[in-house]
Amino acid sequence: MKEQGSIPKGKIGRAASLAGTGVRIGANYARYHAHKLVTGKDDREALHRANATDTYNTLSRLKGGPLKVAQMLSIDTAFLPPAYAEQFAQAHYQAPPLSYPLVERTFQRDVGRGPREIFDEFSQNAVSGASIGQVHKARLGDHYYAVKVQYPGVADSLRNDLRMVRPVAMRLFDLTAAEIDPYLSEVQERLLEETDYELELRRGNELARRTEPEVPVRFPRAYPEYSSARILTMDWVDGEPLDRFARAEPPQEQRDRIGQKLWDFYHYQVHTLRSFHADPHPGNFLVAGDDLWVLDFGCVKEIPDDFHDAYFRLLDPEVVVDRDLFAACLEDLDLLLDSDKPQERAKLLELFEQSVRLLSRPFAVAEFDFSDPSYLEEIRTFGEQSSTDPELKKIGSNRGSTHGLYVNRAYFGLYSLMGLLGARIRTERPVLPPRPDRPLQRVDTGQRSQPPPALPESPPLPPTRRPARLTVRRRAGRILAQ
C-alpha cells in the first residue's frame, strides 16, 4: 500500500479536501441520472461504488475524525449498502500508512529518542494503519512488540474535522442536522479519549485483569516504559484479523469455538463488569489457532447500573406482551416521550415491539445459528423499511439515551461479527432485574431534556441534486432508537 508523506493540515486544506469530495459526489449523481435517463436502467450499485470509493479515498488521507466516522459506519453492515460497507471496512487496519520520517518525528517529540535507539529492530513500514494511528513491529532482545504510533495532529484537528465532515455525511446518507449531530457529538467524545494512549494503556490492562480469569480470551500486555500519550507499545501477536480468518473458510467447529469466546466476552463485560470494549470491528480481534486475542481499548464504555437494568429489562418476554408495562419501560428509557401524540405513540410502540422481538431473538433460545444469513438480512430489511417509513419521518428523532448509542453499536457489531464467522453458539439471557410495578421511575439515561446544540456550521459544499435515500438508519426509525 502506498505511503503518505504528509496529512493535510489547517482548516482550509482539510476543508478543501472534503469540498472536493462533495464535487465528485455531485458529479457521480449527475452521471447516474444521465445514464438512467438515456438507458432507462437504475444502476444504483454503480453509484454507491463510485461514491464509496471517492469518499473513502478522501477520509483515509485526512485520518482522524473523518476516517473514524467511516470506521464506525462500516460496523453497521446490516444497514449500509454493500459498496459502502466494503470500502469503509478498510478504515479498521488498511488505511494508507504514513512515511517513516513522520514516525521518527513523533518518537523524537514524545520520548526524545528515535525508535531504533529504543528497540533493536523497528520496521520502517507500518504493518497496519487505521483512523488514529498505525502499527509497526519492533524487537528488543528476543521479544517482539506491536508499537502503535499516533498520526501527527489528530487530536488537535478533531473538532474541526467533525464539523467539516458533517455536510458530506448529511448529503451522502440523506440525514438531517438533528439526526447526525448527536451521533457526531458521541464520536467526538470517544475520539478524544482514543487519542490518549496512556488512558488506553490503563484501561486495557484493567479490563484484561478483570476479564481473563472469567472468559477464555487473551489480551496482549502493554508496556508503559515504552509508551507515551502518542505511542503505545504492546506484545506482538501472530494471528489473523477476524475477517481474514473467516474468509479462509476454517472448519465450522473452529468458527463456533471462536464465536463462542467472542459472545461470552461481550456478555461478561456488558452484564457483569458493566464496562465493555465498544469498538467491535474485525481488526480488533485476532485469531491464532483456537485463541481469540482482543486488541485496542481506546474506546471503552461504562454502563450505569440503572440504565443497564432498564434497557435489558426489554429482554423479558413478559414485558413485551404486556402493552402497558412495555410502554412504561420505553418511557423509562425516553424512547417514548410525553410530547408524543397518540398516533405517534401507537406507531412507535409498534416499531419498538417489532425491533425488540427481532433483536432479542438470539437470547430467546439455548443455541443460535448465525451461519444462516437470513437473520441479518431480516434485520437489514427491517432497518431499511423503518428508515423510509413516511410516518416515522414526521416523528421527532431526538429520543433515547446516549448510553444506548454504544450498547446498540456493540451488539450490532457483535451480530455482524457472528454473521461473518457463521458461528453457531450457546446463548442465554442475562440475569434480569425484577419486573417492576407500574409506573416506573425514569432513570438518568444521559438524554438531554432539550435537543443537542447543533455543531458549528462548516463551509458549504457545492450544490448537487439530492440523493435517493440509502438504507442507513435514521434516528427516529433506527432499531432500538438511541
The confidence band for 15, taking pLDDT boundaries of 50, 70 and 90, is low
Point out the least confidently predicted range of 38-42, 79-83, 95-99: 79-83
Closest-CA residue to 75 (of 66, 64, 84): 84
3-state secondary structure 25-80: HHHHHHHHHHHHHHHCCCCHHHHHHHHHHHHHHHHHHHCHHHHHHHHHHHHCCCCC
28 has a pLDDT exceeding 60:
yes
Residues 170, 26 within the same domain: yes
In a domain, 68, yes or no: yes
Q: pLDDT grade, residue 182 (50/70/90)?
A: low
Q: What is the pLDDT of residue 300?
A: 87
Identify whether 356 is part of a domain: yes
Phi, psi of 146 (to 5 degrees): -100, 120
pLDDT over threshold 70, residue 257: yes
- Where is average pLDDT lowest: 3-7, 48-52, 336-340, 408-412? 3-7
Instruction: Give the whole-number percent of the chain exceeding pLDDT 90.
Output: 37
Residue 395 scores a pLDDT above 50: yes
How big is the CA angle at 253 (ends 247 and 255), to the nearest 5 degrees? 35
Confidence at residue 120, expressed as pLDDT on a 0 to 100 scale: 97
CA separation for the pair 60, 79 (Å, rounded):
22
Q: Which of 121, 144, 178 delimits the end of a domain? A: 178
Give the residue with greater pLDDT, 426 vs 400: 426
At residue 37, the pLDDT reads 65
Of the CA atoms within 13 Å of residue 55, those in its CB half-sphere come to 35
User: What pLDDT score does 405 carry?
Assistant: 77
pLDDT in tens, 84-133: 555 555 544 555 567 888 899 899 999 899 999 999 999 998 888 766 78
**Cα-based distances in Å from 442 to 275, 329, 334, 408:** 22, 9, 8, 20
- pLDDT-derived band at 18, boundaries 50, 70, 90: low
Q: Which of 467, 471, 308, 446 is nearest to 386 (CA)?
A: 471
Q: Is 202 a member of any domain?
A: no
> Which cell numbers hold the place of 294?
482482543
pTM of this structure: 0.72
Please, is 145 exposed, middle or buried when counting C-beta atoms within 10 Å of its C-beta (0-12, 13-18, 19+)? buried
| CA-angle at 408, arms to 439 and 431, nearest 5° | 60
Q: How many domains does the chain have?
A: 2
* Residue of higher predicted confidence among 425 and 81: 425
Pick the more confident residue, 294 or 400.
Answer: 294
245 contacts 287 by C-beta, under 8 angstroms:
yes
Better pLDDT: 269 or 184: 269
Residue 79 lies in a domain: yes
Alpha carbon distance 97, 200 (integer Å): 21
pLDDT above 50 (res 457): no
Q: Output the pLDDT for position 162.
A: 73
For residues 134-140, give the mean pLDDT: 94
In 10 A of CB 100, how many CB atoms? 16
Q: For helices 252-268 and 402-421, what crossing angle results, to 10°?
A: 170
pLDDT of residue 456 exceeding 60: no
Question: DSSP assignment, residue 449?
Answer: S
Question: Which of 426, 445, 465 delimits the end of a domain?
Answer: 426
Residue pointed to by grid coordinates 455525511: 169
SS3 306: helix
CA atoms of 305 and 35, how far apart (whole Å): 55
Residue 232: inside a domain:
no
In the chain, % of residues over pLDDT 70: 66
**Closest to 169 measured CA to CA, from 73, 77, 245:** 73
Residue 350 has what pLDDT? 93
Residues 17 and 162 in one domain: yes
| pLDDT at res. 410 | 87
Task: Report d(CA 148, CA 132) in Å as an integer.
Answer: 9
> Where does the pLDDT of residue 383 fall: very low under 50, low under 70, confident under 90, or very high at 90 and above?
confident
Report yes or no on 462 lying in a domain: no
In DSSP terms, 138 is beta-bridged to: 122, 145
**Domain assignment present for 369:** yes
Q: What's the grid cell of residue 222?
A: 502493554
CA 203/CA 276 separation, integer angstroms: 10
Cβ pair 336, 314 in contact under 8 A: no
Per-residue confidence (pLDDT) for residue 134, from 0 to 100: 87
Name the average pLDDT for the chain. Answer: 77
Range of the domain at 389: 303-426
What does the pLDDT average to over 299-326? 90
User: What does the buried/exposed string (b/e) look like for 258-285 if buried means 16 or more CB atoms within 10 Å of the residue's CB?
Assistant: bbbbbbbbbbbbbbeeebbbbbbbbbbb
Domain co-membership, 307 together with 174: no
Q: Which of 147, 178, 209 is the last residue of a domain?
A: 178
Return the pLDDT at 79. Answer: 47
Q: Which of 423, 368, 429, 370 lies closest to 258 in space, CA to CA?
A: 423
Give the pLDDT band (50/70/90) at residue 82.
low
> What DSSP state is assigned to residue 365?
S
Model confidence at 461, pLDDT cuts 50, 70, 90, reads very low
Q: Could you tell me if residue 53 is inside a domain?
A: yes
